[in-house]
Amino acid sequence: MGLLDEMAGKFMGQGTDATSNESSGLASGVMELLSNHPGGLSGLVQSFHANGVGDIVNSWISNGSNLPISADQIQSVLGSEQVQQLAGKLGISPDVASSKLAEILPGLVDKLTPDGKVAEGGSLLQQGLAFLGQKAS
C-alpha cells in the first residue's frame, strides 16, 4: 500500500470491502491531484480564490464548519482537464468525478489543515506524513 493510499484510508476510515476500495481509490486520486496541482495545497487554495469561491475553501481550512461546494464549482476551479484525468484514472465519468470531488475535498482539505491554516514551506507529502503520525497515536 502506497503512502497516498494509506493517507486516503486513514482519512476515509475505510475497511476492505469493494465500496471502501473505490472510496480509497478516489481519495488517493484526490491526494495525487493535490500533489500535482501547481503550488500544491496553497496553489489549490489560490485557485479557489481566483475563481470566486475563496469563502468556501476558507471554511475548509478554518476550525469551523465546512461549507459545501457544487460539482460545477469544482469543475470551474480545477478545470475540465484535471477532472477528466482523475475520472480516467478511476474509470468514471467526469461528471461523477466532479460530484465525488465535491464530496471528499472539503473534508480532506480540513484534515490537511488541522491548525486552521495552510502550512507554509511544507510539501503536501510532509503534511500527509504529519497527518498519518497524528492519526496513528
Tens of pLDDT, residue by residue, the chain (137 residues): 444 444 455 444 444 344 455 566 777 787 788 778 888 888 899 999 999 999 999 999 998 899 999 999 999 999 999 999 989 988 899 999 999 999 989 988 888 888 888 876 545 555 554 554 544 44
Cα–Cα dist 131/137, whole Å: 10
Question: What CA–CA distances, in Å, run from 60 to 2, 46, 83, 90, 137?
Answer: 26, 14, 20, 25, 24
What is the domain-level CATH number for residue 7? 1.10.10.690
Q: How many domains, the chain? A: 1
Q: What is the pTM of this model?
A: 0.72
N-terminal to C-terminal alpha carbon distance within the chain: 20
Give the domain extent around 83.
Answer: 3-136
